[in-house]
Each structure stands twice: as C-alpha cells, then as structure tokens.
Amino acid sequence: MITTHRLSPKNQVTIPSKGRALLAGADGNLHALPHAMPKGGTQQVWPIVMLLTAAELARREQLILADPALVPGAKAELVTRLRGLAEELAIDQQNRVVLPQPFVQRLGLDRDVFFVVTNAAIQVWNPDHYREWAGIGADGLAGYTPALDSYLFT
C-alpha cells in the first residue's frame, strides 16, 4: 500500500513528515526538476519531479563537473540543462509547496500525489504511475524484487 497526499486546487501539497529532515537544509526553498524514472529491463519511463535542496543541487552539479568521462562541452551542456530545468519552490510554515502547473500536467496529477523520500531527494509521482512502475498488485503490495536481496540480507 502506498500513502498519498492531497493536491489542493491551487496545486499546493504538504511535504511528507519523512521528507522534512531534508528541509532543514532547504533555506525555505526547494528546487524542482522534471525528470523520469526508467523501469529496468524495459523501454518504459515514468515522469517524476525531483525536489532537491540548493546544497544537493550544487552537489549534483559538481558530480557532473568532476566526471572524467565527460568532455568539457558535455559537462557544460549537462550543467546548463540541470540548472535551466530547475524551478525554485518556496516552502511555507506548514511544509507545503506549490507545484507549478506544467509539472502537475506532466505528472498527470489530479487529486493525489505520492512521494518517495531518499536520503538526498524527494521524488514526486503520480500514484497510478508509481503503482504500475513498482508492480503493485490489487492487494496493494509489490512483488518480490530479487535485486534487493544483497542489500536487505547483509
């Protein structure tokens, strides 16, 4: 089962409590990046929006700049794309953000929003897309993922 959050008519949504630890370094803002999540072994990708703090966005920019496999022009292109796509979102006192309308449309959001919180970012998903991507069945549970075994049973 996945827990969703309600999107208001003004596209405002509350960041889940498990994601609020990331907000401590957000200085009242998050950076939203439209992106997509591929499904391994398929050609399918699902639209997501990544929410990053300024520090995390800068860290990812430095990863691009430090990548020895990239030529300078490719580095400049990726950094420009990363920074050019990022939209700054203000976080209010109740830990809410307003998702820009183009992002809401891209995700196909209607009323509910699903968040995946990692140790460095928050992913914003359409709940139906996440269920399909994760293989969540009618019982609300995802199937067995053998690739996780070596990480879960160590």
Q: Distance between CA atoms of 36 and 88, rounded to whole angstroms?
A: 19
Give the pLDDT of the chain (154 residues) as one tens digit per residue: 789 999 999 999 999 988 888 887 677 789 999 999 998 878 899 999 999 999 999 999 999 999 999 999 999 999 999 999 999 999 999 999 999 999 999 999 999 999 999 989 999 999 999 999 998 887 778 888 888 888 888 7
Q: Distance between CA atoms of 147 and 57, rounded to whole angstroms?
A: 28
How many domains does the chain fold into? 1
3-state SS, 82-133, equals: HHHHCEEEECCCCCEEECCHHHHHHHCCCCEEEEEECCCCEEEECHHHHHHH
The pLDDT score that the predictor gives to residue 138 is 76
The helix/strand/coil state of 45 is: strand
Instruction: Determine the residue type at 90.
Output: A
The pLDDT score that the predictor gives to residue 25 is 65
Domain that holds residue 17: 4-152
The pLDDT score that the predictor gives to residue 142 is 84
- The CATH number of the domain holding residue 129 is 3.40.1550.20
The pLDDT score that the predictor gives to residue 60 is 95
